[in-house]
């Protein structure tokens, strides 16, 4: 069952989203060669606590950290640790915040130092695919219109979208119905209505969309070990369009 949010609830989610946007901005400033992923995680954890909020990820189904830090061929759910970032890497930072009973969820992929033209193009396509998906959010459209727009754009640019992991509804729970696929035919699924809040998160691969999970039982990597980028926003459907909640 889809849970619609009222104005008061969306206001609470907006505050959770603002805190999360602050976290991602702070982490971005620290991303450079020589920094460990654990260092980035500590920065995020400290700011979330400072803002009186709670990490949505730490402890969720046993996940051990505040951030998911996924480097190069890692798609999602990378665990922060002693890994040192190198010039030419890309890193996806995924974070969630719980504040006053409501969740926010967002992700961005960043360059570490100077990256290749191929990696730069991957980041451009990944970021733009999220914008294109969000642009489909209007009352009367169907859920799969978001999915189809993302897939069409990504594949037109010679890349692929991950199919094993999806976006989702969000609110009082981190993951709520519906699943928001990043591929599919348009015109399917529930109609988009005022009060729905969705976490839209395309994961874009340079190579094949096939992925696998490493032995740590969390880190998802591309099967062909080509790089992946992950972008996500929490978005509320409004009377005349949408509102991105995970921005300042």
Contact 95, 46 (CB under 8 A): no
In the chain, alpha helices (H)? 7-30, 37-50, 117-134, 143-156
What does the domain layout of the chain look like in residue ranges?
7-244
| Amino acid 2: pLDDT | 87
> Taking the model in full, what pTM does it have?
0.96
Is the pLDDT confidence value at 139 over 80? Answer: no
| Amino acid 240: pLDDT | 85
**Given 3.90.230.10, 3.40.640.10, 3.20.20.70, 3.10.20.30, which CATH number is that of 7-244?**
3.90.230.10
Query: Where does the pLDDT of residue 47 fall: very low under 50, low under 70, confident under 90, or very high at 90 and above?
Result: very high
Task: Tell me the per-residue pLDDT of 174-207, one tens digit each, with 9 for 90 and over.
Answer: 999 999 999 999 999 999 999 999 999 999 999 9
- What would the DSSP string read from start to end of 156-172? HTT-EE-SSS-EEE-SS
Contact 20, 96 (CB under 8 A): yes
Mean pLDDT of the chain: 97
> Which has more pLDDT, 3 or 170?
170
- For residues 122-136, average pLDDT: 98
């Amino acid at each position: 069952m889809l849970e619609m949010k009222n104005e008061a609830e969306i206001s609470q989610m907006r505050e959770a989203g603002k805190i999360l946007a602050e976290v991602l901005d702070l982490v971005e400033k620290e991303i450079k060669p020589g920094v460990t992923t654990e260092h980035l995680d500590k920065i995020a954890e400290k700011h979330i606590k400072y803002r009186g909020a709670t990490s949505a990820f730490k402890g969720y189904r046993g996940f051990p950290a505040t951030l998911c830090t996924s480097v190069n061929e890692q798609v999602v759910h990378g665990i922060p640790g002693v890994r040192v970032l190198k010039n030419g890497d890309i890193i996806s930072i995924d974070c969630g915040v719980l504040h006053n009973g409501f969740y926010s969820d967002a992700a961005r992929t960043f360059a570490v130092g100077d990256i290749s033209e191929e990696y730069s193009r991957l980041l451009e396509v990944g970021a733009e695919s999220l914008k294109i998906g969000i642009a489909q959010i209007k009352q009367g459209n169907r859920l799969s219109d978001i999915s189809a727009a993302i897939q069409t754009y990504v594949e037109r640019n010679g890349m692929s979208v991950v199919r094993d992991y999806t976006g989702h509804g969000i609110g009082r729970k981190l993951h709520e119905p519906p699943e928001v696929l990043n591929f599919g035919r348009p015109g399917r699924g529930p109609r988009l209505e005022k009060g729905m809040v969705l976490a839209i998160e395309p994961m874009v691969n340079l190579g094949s969309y096939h992925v696998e999970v490493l032995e740590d039982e969390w880190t998802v990597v591309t099967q062909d070990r080509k790089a992946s980028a992950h972008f996500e926003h929490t978005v509320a459907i409004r009377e005349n369009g949408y509102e991105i909640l995970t921005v300042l």
